[in-house]
Amino acid sequence: MGYFKGKQFKKDIILVAVGYYCRFSLSYRDVSEILKERRVSVHPTTIMRWVHEYGNLIYQMWKKKHKFAHHTWHLDETYIKVKGKFYIELLIAMVIHWIFNFAKNEIVKQHMPL
């Protein structure tokens, strides 16, 4: 990919800066300070230009990488039989537990660093 050809900074630095800005909704100055802590001096205006230039490209690449399967499922009058008795409450509790775990895992995935 020739997107980064002729740039003063390496591709990795540009991707990290734009990723920090987009993923964690930081200000350009915050991203600049984070990079400065890692011994990379970048002016906030430069980061702004990178976001304008590469933000959509990085988003499209992210969408390709994170294709989601269909998360639709159906529950049709399903009961659980325990010792001869049918329990719908137990099934509902299990489904709610599964939904909360799924949502928690998605939140953790979204907040992992690049």
Would you list the domain boundaries of the chain? Answer: 11-65, 69-114
Quick: pLDDT tens for 43-66: 999 999 999 988 888 888 877 877
Helix (H) or strand (E) holding 45: helix 44-65
- What pLDDT is stored for residue 31 in this prediction? 93
- Per-chain mean pLDDT for the chain: 78
Nearest to 26 by CA among 38, 87, 35: 35
Average pLDDT over residues 25-30: 90
The alpha-carbon radius of gyration of the chain (Å, integer) is: 22
Q: With contact defined as beta carbons under 8 Å apart, do 23 and 55 qualify? A: no
Nearest to 30 by CA among 3, 48, 4: 48
